[in-house]
Amino acid sequence: MPRAPAAAHSGNARRHAQFGARAPPARGAARPCVHVRRVKRGTLLAFEGLDGCGKSTQVQRLAHALVAAGHAVLTTHEPTDGPTGARIREMARSGRTLPPEEELRWFVEDRRAHLRDTLGPALAAGRVVVTDRYFLSSVAYQGARGLDWQAILAASEAEFPIPDLVLLLEIDVARGLERVRSRGAHLEGVFEREELLLRVAAIFSAVERPWVERIPAAGSEGEVHAAVVARVRSRLGLGLASPSGSE
Protein backbone atom coordinates (compact mmCIF):
# COMPACT_ATOMS: atom_id res chain seq x y z
CA MET A 1 0.00 0.00 0.00
CA PRO A 2 1.42 3.45 -0.84
CA ARG A 3 2.39 5.72 2.00
CA ALA A 4 0.01 8.50 2.89
CA PRO A 5 1.22 11.79 1.38
CA ALA A 6 3.25 13.82 3.83
CA ALA A 7 1.82 17.04 5.22
CA ALA A 8 2.39 20.12 3.10
CA HIS A 9 4.39 23.07 4.35
CA SER A 10 2.59 25.62 6.49
CA GLY A 11 1.66 27.91 3.58
CA ASN A 12 -0.13 25.13 1.75
CA ALA A 13 -1.67 23.87 4.98
CA ARG A 14 -3.16 27.27 5.71
CA ARG A 15 -4.54 27.54 2.19
CA HIS A 16 -6.13 24.07 2.19
CA ALA A 17 -7.47 24.53 5.71
CA GLN A 18 -9.38 27.61 4.57
CA PHE A 19 -11.84 25.46 2.58
CA GLY A 20 -12.56 28.57 0.52
CA ALA A 21 -13.64 31.21 2.98
CA ARG A 22 -17.29 32.18 2.87
CA ALA A 23 -18.16 35.79 2.16
CA PRO A 24 -19.57 37.58 5.23
CA PRO A 25 -23.35 38.06 5.14
CA ALA A 26 -24.71 41.42 4.05
CA ARG A 27 -25.46 43.88 6.82
CA GLY A 28 -28.76 43.03 8.41
CA ALA A 29 -28.87 39.53 6.92
CA ALA A 30 -29.32 36.55 9.21
CA ARG A 31 -26.11 34.69 9.87
CA PRO A 32 -26.42 30.99 9.08
CA CYS A 33 -25.92 28.70 12.06
CA VAL A 34 -23.49 26.12 10.74
CA HIS A 35 -21.45 24.92 13.71
CA VAL A 36 -23.77 22.98 16.00
CA ARG A 37 -21.27 21.25 18.27
CA ARG A 38 -22.33 23.36 21.24
CA VAL A 39 -26.03 22.43 20.83
CA LYS A 40 -25.43 18.79 19.86
CA ARG A 41 -27.65 16.45 21.86
CA GLY A 42 -28.03 13.48 19.54
CA THR A 43 -25.51 10.90 18.37
CA LEU A 44 -23.58 11.11 15.10
CA LEU A 45 -22.26 7.94 13.49
CA ALA A 46 -20.47 7.95 10.14
CA PHE A 47 -19.54 5.08 7.87
CA GLU A 48 -16.38 5.58 5.84
CA GLY A 49 -14.30 3.47 3.50
CA LEU A 50 -13.34 2.74 -0.06
CA ASP A 51 -15.80 2.31 -2.88
CA GLY A 52 -17.21 -1.22 -2.72
CA CYS A 53 -16.62 -1.68 1.01
CA GLY A 54 -20.37 -2.06 1.72
CA LYS A 55 -21.06 1.21 3.53
CA SER A 56 -24.52 1.81 2.13
CA THR A 57 -25.68 -1.69 3.05
CA GLN A 58 -24.31 -1.40 6.58
CA VAL A 59 -25.88 2.04 7.07
CA GLN A 60 -29.30 0.54 6.38
CA ARG A 61 -28.73 -2.56 8.49
CA LEU A 62 -27.55 -0.53 11.46
CA ALA A 63 -30.44 1.92 11.08
CA HIS A 64 -32.96 -0.94 11.10
CA ALA A 65 -31.35 -2.39 14.24
CA LEU A 66 -31.43 0.99 15.97
CA VAL A 67 -35.08 1.58 15.07
CA ALA A 68 -35.97 -1.91 16.31
CA ALA A 69 -34.31 -1.03 19.62
CA GLY A 70 -36.49 2.07 19.94
CA HIS A 71 -34.09 4.80 18.85
CA ALA A 72 -35.15 7.79 16.75
CA VAL A 73 -32.91 7.45 13.68
CA LEU A 74 -32.08 9.52 10.61
CA THR A 75 -30.03 8.07 7.75
CA THR A 76 -28.32 10.42 5.33
CA HIS A 77 -25.39 10.55 2.94
CA GLU A 78 -22.73 12.68 1.30
CA PRO A 79 -22.70 13.98 -1.33
CA THR A 80 -26.21 15.10 -0.50
CA ASP A 81 -29.23 15.31 -2.78
CA GLY A 82 -28.98 19.10 -2.79
CA PRO A 83 -27.76 21.23 -5.70
CA THR A 84 -24.06 21.01 -4.83
CA GLY A 85 -24.28 17.29 -4.16
CA ALA A 86 -25.96 16.76 -7.52
CA ARG A 87 -23.20 18.76 -9.19
CA ILE A 88 -20.57 16.56 -7.49
CA ARG A 89 -22.24 13.34 -8.64
CA GLU A 90 -22.54 14.61 -12.20
CA MET A 91 -18.86 15.54 -12.17
CA ALA A 92 -17.93 12.07 -10.87
CA ARG A 93 -20.03 10.32 -13.53
CA SER A 94 -18.65 12.47 -16.33
CA GLY A 95 -15.02 11.67 -15.57
CA ARG A 96 -14.23 15.39 -15.77
CA THR A 97 -11.76 16.18 -13.03
CA LEU A 98 -11.60 19.55 -11.30
CA PRO A 99 -8.55 21.16 -9.77
CA PRO A 100 -8.31 19.52 -6.33
CA GLU A 101 -8.82 22.82 -4.51
CA GLU A 102 -12.08 23.43 -6.38
CA GLU A 103 -13.18 19.84 -5.80
CA LEU A 104 -12.62 20.28 -2.06
CA ARG A 105 -14.61 23.53 -2.08
CA TRP A 106 -17.58 21.74 -3.65
CA PHE A 107 -17.54 19.02 -1.02
CA VAL A 108 -17.22 21.50 1.83
CA GLU A 109 -20.03 23.64 0.43
CA ASP A 110 -22.22 20.53 0.24
CA ARG A 111 -21.27 19.54 3.81
CA ARG A 112 -22.13 22.97 5.16
CA ALA A 113 -25.58 22.70 3.62
CA HIS A 114 -25.89 19.15 4.97
CA LEU A 115 -25.07 20.36 8.47
CA ARG A 116 -27.40 23.34 8.27
CA ASP A 117 -30.40 21.55 6.76
CA THR A 118 -30.15 17.95 7.96
CA LEU A 119 -27.48 17.00 10.48
CA GLY A 120 -27.82 20.00 12.76
CA PRO A 121 -31.60 19.88 13.23
CA ALA A 122 -31.60 16.09 13.72
CA LEU A 123 -28.82 16.22 16.30
CA ALA A 124 -30.46 19.13 18.11
CA ALA A 125 -33.64 17.04 18.32
CA GLY A 126 -31.71 14.21 19.98
CA ARG A 127 -31.83 11.73 17.11
CA VAL A 128 -29.25 9.11 16.18
CA VAL A 129 -27.87 10.20 12.82
CA VAL A 130 -26.17 7.61 10.62
CA THR A 131 -24.41 9.07 7.60
CA ASP A 132 -22.88 7.32 4.60
CA ARG A 133 -19.67 9.38 4.34
CA TYR A 134 -18.68 12.51 6.24
CA PHE A 135 -15.58 14.65 6.44
CA LEU A 136 -13.04 11.80 6.56
CA SER A 137 -13.96 11.16 2.93
CA SER A 138 -12.71 14.64 2.04
CA VAL A 139 -9.57 14.02 4.09
CA ALA A 140 -8.82 10.82 2.19
CA TYR A 141 -10.10 11.49 -1.34
CA GLN A 142 -9.05 15.10 -1.73
CA GLY A 143 -5.86 14.30 0.15
CA ALA A 144 -5.21 11.60 -2.44
CA ARG A 145 -5.59 14.29 -5.11
CA GLY A 146 -2.53 16.01 -3.63
CA LEU A 147 -3.93 18.35 -0.98
CA ASP A 148 -2.66 18.36 2.59
CA TRP A 149 -4.87 15.73 4.22
CA GLN A 150 -3.78 16.65 7.73
CA ALA A 151 -4.80 20.26 7.16
CA ILE A 152 -8.17 19.15 5.76
CA LEU A 153 -8.68 17.01 8.86
CA ALA A 154 -7.79 19.83 11.24
CA ALA A 155 -10.04 22.30 9.43
CA SER A 156 -12.91 19.80 9.36
CA GLU A 157 -12.62 19.13 13.07
CA ALA A 158 -12.64 22.86 13.73
CA GLU A 159 -15.76 23.58 11.67
CA PHE A 160 -17.97 20.48 11.75
CA PRO A 161 -19.29 18.35 14.62
CA ILE A 162 -16.89 15.54 15.41
CA PRO A 163 -18.66 12.18 15.06
CA ASP A 164 -19.31 10.16 18.18
CA LEU A 165 -18.10 7.18 16.18
CA VAL A 166 -16.72 6.55 12.69
CA LEU A 167 -17.00 2.99 11.43
CA LEU A 168 -14.22 2.69 8.86
CA LEU A 169 -14.85 -0.38 6.72
CA GLU A 170 -11.54 -1.69 5.42
CA ILE A 171 -11.23 -3.69 2.21
CA ASP A 172 -8.56 -4.31 -0.39
CA VAL A 173 -8.80 -1.84 -3.29
CA ALA A 174 -9.04 -4.55 -5.95
CA ARG A 175 -11.73 -6.40 -4.00
CA GLY A 176 -13.76 -3.22 -3.58
CA LEU A 177 -13.63 -2.44 -7.30
CA GLU A 178 -14.57 -6.03 -8.08
CA ARG A 179 -17.68 -5.61 -5.92
CA VAL A 180 -18.60 -2.40 -7.74
CA ARG A 181 -18.31 -4.15 -11.10
CA SER A 182 -20.28 -7.19 -9.87
CA ARG A 183 -23.25 -4.90 -9.19
CA GLY A 184 -23.28 -4.04 -12.88
CA ALA A 185 -22.23 -0.47 -12.12
CA HIS A 186 -19.83 1.48 -14.28
CA LEU A 187 -16.76 2.72 -12.47
CA GLU A 188 -16.76 6.47 -11.96
CA GLY A 189 -13.93 8.00 -13.90
CA VAL A 190 -12.99 10.50 -11.20
CA PHE A 191 -12.99 8.59 -7.92
CA GLU A 192 -13.15 4.87 -8.74
CA ARG A 193 -9.66 4.51 -10.16
CA GLU A 194 -7.28 1.98 -8.65
CA GLU A 195 -4.27 4.26 -8.48
CA LEU A 196 -6.29 6.96 -6.69
CA LEU A 197 -7.94 4.47 -4.33
CA LEU A 198 -4.57 3.09 -3.27
CA ARG A 199 -3.63 6.58 -2.09
CA VAL A 200 -7.05 6.98 -0.45
CA ALA A 201 -6.55 3.72 1.44
CA ALA A 202 -3.13 4.86 2.63
CA ILE A 203 -4.59 8.06 4.07
CA PHE A 204 -7.46 6.23 5.75
CA SER A 205 -4.85 3.94 7.32
CA ALA A 206 -2.81 6.92 8.54
CA VAL A 207 -5.70 8.69 10.28
CA GLU A 208 -5.46 8.16 14.04
CA ARG A 209 -8.40 9.44 16.04
CA PRO A 210 -10.05 7.92 19.13
CA TRP A 211 -13.47 8.11 17.47
CA VAL A 212 -12.44 5.89 14.54
CA GLU A 213 -13.15 2.15 14.69
CA ARG A 214 -11.74 -0.02 11.89
CA ILE A 215 -13.79 -3.02 10.79
CA PRO A 216 -12.63 -5.63 8.25
CA ALA A 217 -15.20 -5.57 5.44
CA ALA A 218 -14.21 -8.54 3.28
CA GLY A 219 -16.62 -10.91 5.02
CA SER A 220 -20.34 -11.43 4.46
CA GLU A 221 -22.90 -8.68 5.10
CA GLY A 222 -23.98 -10.49 8.24
CA GLU A 223 -20.45 -10.82 9.60
CA VAL A 224 -19.71 -7.15 9.03
CA HIS A 225 -23.07 -6.15 10.55
CA ALA A 226 -22.34 -8.22 13.67
CA ALA A 227 -19.00 -6.42 14.06
CA VAL A 228 -20.68 -3.03 13.54
CA VAL A 229 -23.33 -3.77 16.19
CA ALA A 230 -20.68 -4.93 18.66
CA ARG A 231 -18.64 -1.74 18.21
CA VAL A 232 -21.67 0.55 18.47
CA ARG A 233 -22.80 -1.19 21.66
CA SER A 234 -19.38 -1.16 23.30
CA ARG A 235 -18.31 2.34 22.25
CA LEU A 236 -21.57 4.26 22.59
CA GLY A 237 -23.66 2.17 24.94
CA LEU A 238 -26.63 2.24 22.59
CA GLY A 239 -29.11 -0.54 23.24
CA LEU A 240 -29.02 -3.02 20.35
CA ALA A 241 -29.98 -6.66 20.15
CA SER A 242 -27.24 -9.04 19.11
CA PRO A 243 -27.61 -10.10 15.46
CA SER A 244 -29.28 -13.49 15.17
CA GLY A 245 -26.40 -14.81 13.12
CA SER A 246 -24.04 -14.01 10.29
CA GLU A 247 -24.93 -14.73 6.72
Q: What is the mean pLDDT of residues 74-92?
A: 95
Q: What is the mean pLDDT of residues 216-229?
A: 96
Task: Provide the mean pLDDT of the chain.
Answer: 85
User: 85-89, 91-95, 102-106: which has the minimum mean pLDDT?
Assistant: 91-95
For the segment 40-75, what is each residue's pLDDT rounded down to a tens digit? 689 999 999 998 899 999 999 999 999 999 999 999
pLDDT at 37 over 60: no
Ranges assigned E (strand) in 43-187:
43-49, 73-77, 128-132, 165-170
Superfamily, domain 36-236: P-loop containing nucleotide triphosphate hydrolases (3.40.50.300)
- For position 21, what pLDDT does the model report? 53
CA distance 166 to 182: 27
CA distance 142 to 144: 5
Q: What is the mean pLDDT of residues 65-87?
A: 96
- Predicted structure pTM score: 0.84
pLDDT band at 166 (very low <50, low <70, confident <90, very high): very high
HSE-up of 117 (CA within 13 Å, CB side)? 13
pLDDT band at 38 (very low <50, low <70, confident <90, very high): very low
Domain spans of the chain?
Answer: 36-236
pLDDT at 34 over 80: no
- For position 192, what pLDDT does the model report? 65
Contacts 24+ apart (CB under 8 A), 231-236: 231/165, 231/167, 232/45, 232/62, 232/165, 232/167, 235/164, 235/165, 236/43, 236/45, 236/164, 236/165
pLDDT band at 35 (very low <50, low <70, confident <90, very high): very low
- For position 193, what pLDDT does the model report? 75
- For position 36, what pLDDT does the model report? 44
pLDDT at 229 over 90: yes
Q: For strand 73-77 and strand 128-132, is the pairing parallel, antiparallel, or unpaired?
A: parallel
- For position 179, what pLDDT does the model report? 81
